[in-house]
Chain A
């Protein structure tokens, strides 16, 4: 089902950091939310998650770094069990093996605590945990910026493959249009707390209209390689 939200906004210490925003997220869509730092894209993500959750939708969230998603004192098994219980699912009823295999972390020791795993594996564990209850939407907030490039690229590829056979829609929040370009079919550009442009990815890459979109598009990669 298509997720609709209207009039999302946020004010922090008297300043409007997110102006009223309306969004529509069709199932299985791949949406990129891009903008410079301070443009309000993370705020929009948070407000969106809270709003949808309050209305009974199942929305999962993957923060920037595994440090923001895992308790260093608790084992991976504990995190998993807790996430299952939060969704009202019986312990062990979810397809952990399948998710782990899809994300290539089946070798991880569930008895270990997060720091017993590599950071790339931790992040993929967080993604696996986010997909437990077949959510309507998964929101990824700069999911690769804390990872080494090789690990980051692998993580994004595995995520794409894992999402392929699911109904889950994806919202990728990033400052890096280059990262979003290959992963999403719709782009939404934020600037100063407003959604200033939205459209098909190719259209915005080739023909950006607003100042923010032009700047992001012009700076999306370091160099074009003829290969």
Chain B
């Protein structure tokens, strides 16, 4: 177990360092002059070459790529995300503010996804091939095909414009989170429904189940104690992938609903070539990914102890 965790941590380290170097390089080599972009963002006006050169020196863009990278990485090793060259403020408080909008949204989307997909999959598998099953599969396919930005706009049109039940733009009250959470959550639900459905159907085909029925064990216990754990294995795997889907969707949804979360934070930072901000988001995303994958791998070992056993 300890050995396995060490292996996973090593993998996490490789992922983290790869991600940070790669994004730093992409940003460094992006077309256009970064110093110009930073100066524009900072002063909000067209500027003379002297000012731009001054900014270049101040921010350290006249150094080589690796010098600049180490200059950023050094403080990070002591958990210091540094200062933004654009705003002149430390990165962490701004990032924390963005996180405080994004993480609750991510979790409520996942909750919506699970709340919709689990009952839907259970209904669908009551009678495989029946009308409810076919309806659920069709709904899930449709859900997968609809892009988040379109669904978001439709929801705004319906609940904010026509019915005026819910606020559309901003993030000042918890009610503001409902529509974005629905937008993301329904997308998550679509793919989860299919996975849970096929997981349940496959688990029902386990060769030992007929013997359990002959032993007189009631259907309810069989479903809860023997089908569900086997069905959970593929679902756990897919939850990790869902998180990737969520992060990608969050950027879009936050922009649509005008929420000042990580997505908006990242888009602005890229436009302004704000190295410190972009890198902070990348490190954070990579950390979340690594943590989630670690959690999934560990969950696996609990759900299915055969994994990780050498001679099972």
Contacts and interface: CB of A to CB of B under 8 A. Distances in A.
Interface of A: 46, 49-50, 53, 60-61, 63, 67-74, 78, 82-83, 85-87, 113, 115, 129
B131 interface: no
Nearest to A72: B306
The 6 closest A-B pairs by CB, nearest first: A86-B216, A61-B214, A69-B211, A86-B217, A73-B229, A71-B226
B208 A49 contact: no
B208 A53 contact: no
A61 B208 contact: no
Interface string B289-312: 000000000000001111001001
Interface in B192-247: 206-208, 210-212, 214-218, 221, 225-226, 229-230
Interface string B93-117: 0000000000000000000000000
A69 B208 contact: yes
A67 B217 contact: no
Interface of B: 206-208, 210-212, 214-218, 221, 225-226, 229-230, 303-306, 309, 312
Given A61-B211, A73-B303, 12 more contacts: A60-B215, A61-B215, A63-B211, A67-B208, A68-B208, A73-B230, A73-B305, A74-B225, A74-B226, A82-B215, A83-B217, A113-B305
Nearest to A126: B211
Judged by DSSP, the binding face of A is helix
A73 B232 CA distance: 11
Contacts of B211: 61, 63, 68-69
A227 B225 CA distance: 52
A73 B304 contact: yes
A60 B206 CA distance: 20
Contacts of A86: 215-218
B171 to A, nearest CB: 43
A71 B208 contact: yes
A70 B210 CA distance: 11
B237 to A, nearest CB: 16
Q: Which of B212, B214, B218, B226 has the most CB of A within 10 A?
A: B214
A68 B306 contact: no
A89 B306 CA distance: 31
B285 to A, nearest CB: 33
Contact of A68 (B207, B216, B303, B305): B207
A86 B218 CA distance: 7
Contacts of B226: 71, 73-74
B304 A53 contact: no
A87 to B, nearest CB: 7
A73 B221 CA distance: 14
Contacts of B230: 73
A49 B312 CA distance: 32
A53 B210 CA distance: 14
A108 B62 CA distance: 71
Nearest to B218: A86
24 contacts: A50-B214, A53-B214, A61-B211, A61-B214, A63-B210, A67-B207, A67-B208, A68-B210, A70-B208, A71-B206, A71-B212, A71-B226, A72-B306, A73-B229, A73-B230, A73-B303, A73-B304, A78-B225, A82-B215, A85-B217, A86-B217, A86-B218, A113-B305, A115-B309
